[in-house]
Structure 1
Amino acid sequence: MAELEPRNFLQPCLLLLLREQPDHGYELAARLRPMHDGDGDAGGVYRALRSLERHGLVRSEWQTSDVGPARRTYYVTPDGVNSLDSLADSLGQTHEALHIFLDRYARVVAAAKRGCPEGSRIDHRADRYGRTNGVHAARGADRPAGH
């Protein structure tokens, strides 16, 4: 279940940001905040960028400036784009699993608040993929008695 851990979300976020546009580390850290619930640790961003670079998913180059020190600019590589595509597919599957989980959780909590016994009915409605969720639904909540 490691793929659901937030710490594993940093690298796909960085790849996406770099696919949007090349950038410097501190700017990436600032752009990352709305997407990633990190603590704003620029050091963590740089460690992740170095790891992505070691794996050939990003590249960097030094750029000089007339008004300050040279800064390293990061770019996503073609392998990084392929990796991002794969990670996005995996995150899509996680997204679906989370929605099923949260829907089931909401139903169980709602049934408990209504005082319905947990095992009174099983809801076998299928999602868009034909999967049933096996959630226990209260009699009369969404289905008539006898079904």
Structure 2
Amino acid sequence: MKINDAVLGALFFLLGGWITLAAFQFPGMPGQAVGPGTFPRIIGSLIALLGLGLAFGGENRRGALVVVADGWRDSRRGPAAALALIGTAALAIGFEQIGFPLGASLLLCLLYLASQRKSWRLLPLAVGFVFAVHLVMTRLLLVPLPAGPLKGWL
């Protein structure tokens, strides 16, 4: 799917403007010119300016608003997208009980099966990747991801 650059540029302009205006609501730091809202204002302004640049200087700004490629019309896309949304919501609701390693591995495997791929060799790779991400996040970055039933093992 290809979205017109003018539409994306306008969305980025609105997003940048909203960030900038929201940053003006942050309280100032007494006695300092640089406060909590300084960097969000700078980043929001840059996003808005780049959005304007994309809207007026984009490649396909005179074409159709949205062009849907034939690959997006595949009948497997809808159920896989619904599974991704429902699975992510279910994982968010039971995150503490299920845990990240088991929940993310199960969701990845279900999405792989929903895409009707033939090679089963990639499933262990996906599960290994989830466990590697869990270990990096919990051990190196000290992010408290729940291990669920695997608590004490990981």
TM-score, normalised relative to structure 2: 0.27
The structure, 1 or 2, with the larger RCO (C-alpha pairs under 8 Å, 6+ apart) is 2
TM-score, normalised relative to structure 1: 0.28
Higher strand proportion: 1
